[in-house]
Amino acid sequence: MSEQRHQGVVTFTRREVLEAGAVASFAGVTSSSAADAAAPARQAEHGITQRLSTRINGTAMALEIDARASLLDMLRERLGMMGTKKGCDHGQCGACTVHVDGRRVASCLTLAAKVDGREVTTIEGISDGKTLHPMQQAFIDHDALQCGYCTPGQIMAAIACVREGHASSREQIREYMSGNICRCGAYIGIVNAIEQAARQTERT
Amino acid sequence: MRPVRYIRARTVLEAVDAFAQARGNARYIAGGTTLYDLMKLGIERPTCLIDIATLEGADRIDTEGDRLFFGAGALMADVAETRSIVRDYPLLAQSLWKAASQQLRNMATVGGNLLQRTRCPYFRNGAAGVYPCNKRDPGSGCAAIGGLDRSQAVLGVSDACNAVSPGDWPVALTAMNARIELVGLDGARTVSIDDFYQLPGSTPHIEFAMAPGEIVTGITIPKTDAGRRSTYHKIRDRESYAFALASAAVALSMDGDEVRQAHVALGGVATRPWRASETEALLQGQTLTYERALDAARASFNGARPGAHNKFKIELGARTVADAIMIAARGTNHVA
């Protein structure tokens, strides 16, 4: 990934986000009868470049992206930030939850182009140096996970849930966390963790 | 997914102009929770996206005066938590917070929600040509009729389509006699929500009474004291974050124990947001009992046309309506 830093802004030049491998390999195929026979069914679709300025976890970034890209794919495939997970890629599981301007959203259904001029926070941006966010610590304290794949999304949703004022009872926590699926079924620990973190937040 | 051009419009006129210039292959995008999802499935294939989420003033919510106004760009989450709506029109707030997840409600707008497409599995899973679908590919046939039809509609079905209208908010808006404000290439107009949604008939791909290039800009609702005695009751396969198997939006104007006027609409059972006119008529002037409510509710299912696996929706739907009527009559229910 080519990257330049100037005036505190990280700038990325364009790289294919979607179908990067397929596009590159087809571009390199020279015309032959075999290639002609195989090529028409699998035509490379070159994206249209979109410029974008955003802040991710406090760092200003200027990027050129494929206009089709999701915020999730931009974070993972383009910026190498693998903390945010791809589960269903259709807004049904919550694994990709991040905050945009402080509100939780499904990054898989957020067009990356839409975060121009906005602030994105991911799981990588919530700890204070080596000190975990109280919600991260609460998930550890309550064993609120097994495989951990849904956990970054759960934690980002949980932080927002408390901030919104939707963590006043176990029933309310369950309702407002229903967009985050845990296939391991660690829900009891998750609700316990959120209750603890909500109490801590009240005290501070 | 096809390559797309992304344009951000600052005003409605700018958006409409951009649509005209794109010559038919553009889509307006607000939250994108339906459109972008369908682009990933290969069902929507626009080459130009015109972002209308950031139009100036598009998220205005106004509850002063003699009507409620919701700008089309207002977020579902924000309308659901508007204090006066929660207090005076619980059915509206409930229809929003019982829909989707908080993540999606923070993205999706109340205007875009009107245009949500069906969750019919055959509609969503056939872009590669595995299943025919008259909505997706007009004239190709319908795999849901005679197929796995547990989730399909029983009211308003035709020989071409039995896909369920998926929304909750449009059902509550139907009960509240909302009007939809539109702006298009030929100027501005308003249309009643009853006229906005189309029955599938022989053209199930035409779902909304909208001209190409028109934008939903706002929703208005005449104020009514029936809002205080109202509920949106939604029955799902799981307790939260699921589409309705059956739902009912009910608002009641009462004279003591007697129903002066009932507003009743159904979701999860019909091919469009469904006004339960028969139920409304039977409740008028009645003193409410559960039995009367259930009789009135059943009347709206007289024309039901179930398939092989969704007959249960007739009884479930009627009981959902009856329960909703009794909850609304208590007039004390609030959102969590």
Parent domain of A79:
3-125
d(CA B42, CA A88): 16
pLDDT in tens, chain B (336 residues): 889 999 999 999 999 999 999 987 999 999 999 999 999 999 999 999 999 998 989 999 999 999 999 999 999 999 999 999 999 999 999 999 999 999 999 999 999 999 999 999 999 987 666 899 999 999 999 999 999 999 999 999 999 999 999 999 999 999 999 999 999 999 999 999 999 999 999 999 999 999 999 999 999 999 999 999 999 999 999 999 999 999 999 999 999 889 999 999 999 999 999 999 999 999 999 999 999 999 999 999 999 999 999 999 999 999 999 999 999 999 864 443
What's the pLDDT score for residue A201?
Answer: 84
d(CA A30, CA A152): 44
Chain A residues in contact with B53 by the CB 8 A cut-off are 114
More confident residue, A5 or A149: A149
Q: Are residues A32 and A79 in the same domain?
A: yes
B-chain residue closest to A90, CA distance = B37
Condensed to tens digits (0 to 9), the pLDDT of residues A175-191 reads: 999 999 999 999 999 99
Q: Are residues A91 and A165 in the same domain?
A: no
CATH numbers and ranges of domains, chain B:
5-54 (3.30.43.10), 61-115+165-222 (3.30.465.10), 226-329 (3.30.390.50)
Chain B residues in contact with A116 by the CB 8 A cut-off are 8
A-chain residue closest to B124, CA distance = A90
H/E stretch holding B231 = strand B230-235
CATH number of the domain within which A177 lies = 1.10.150.120
What's the pLDDT score for residue A29?
Answer: 34
More confident residue, A204 or A152: A152
Q: Are residues A34 and A120 in the same domain?
A: yes
Q: Are residues A83 and A144 in the same domain?
A: no
CB contact under 8 A, A104 and B102: yes
Q: Are residues A140 and A183 in the same domain?
A: yes
d(CA A51, CA A64): 5
Average pLDDT along chain A: 85
Nearest to B37 among A45, A109, A164 (CB): A109
CATH number of the domain within which A103 lies = 3.10.20.30
C-alpha B6 chain-centroid distance: 27
What's the pLDDT score for residue A132?
Answer: 97
Chain B residues in contact with A166 by the CB 8 A cut-off are 102
Q: Are residues A82 and A117 in the same domain?
A: yes
Pairing assessment for the beta strands A59-66 and A9-12 based on DSSP bridges: parallel
A-chain residue closest to B29, CA distance = A111
